[in-house]
Amino acid sequence: MSEFFEAIWNDEGIGDGGDLQEALQAYVAVKPDDNDWIAACATQEVPPRIERFASFDAYLDNEDALEVIPVTPQMIVVAIEQLPV
């Protein structure tokens, strides 16, 4: 089984991935109109984060995340820049 990562924005899941990079790319779903990720992240009551689970099944079974990874605006920008055009 491979790990599973869930992207969290404003305390809600917005996407997921099989690795950290893929999960970070899910933030494109909440991309601010002005591309100002610093301001967008600063306005969140709960900072963006990625939750890492042992597997997709562990996620579905509501197991606790193995790790909570704080997400910075720079991490989001770099990940989204690598999306195909």
Give me the residue spans of the domains in the chain.
4-81
52 DSSP β-pair partners: 5, 67
Mean pLDDT of all residues in 67-84: 96
Give the per-residue pLDDT at 41: 95
Distance CA 69, CA 67 (A): 6
Chain segment 18-69, per-residue pLDDT in tens: 999 999 999 999 999 999 999 999 999 999 999 999 999 999 999 999 999 9
Q: What is the pLDDT of residue 1?
A: 63
Q: What is the DSSP letter of 46?
A: S
pLDDT at 85: 78
Q: Please list, residue by residue across 2-12, b when 16 or more beta carbons sit within 10 angstroms of its beta carbon and e when fewer do.
A: ebbbbbbbeee
**62 Rama class: left (phi>0) / alpha (psi -120 to 50) / beta:** left
Q: In whole angstroms, give the CA distance from residue 2 to residue 32.
A: 31
Question: Given the DSSP bridges, would you call strands 49-53 and 12-17 parallel, antiparallel or unpaired?
Answer: unpaired
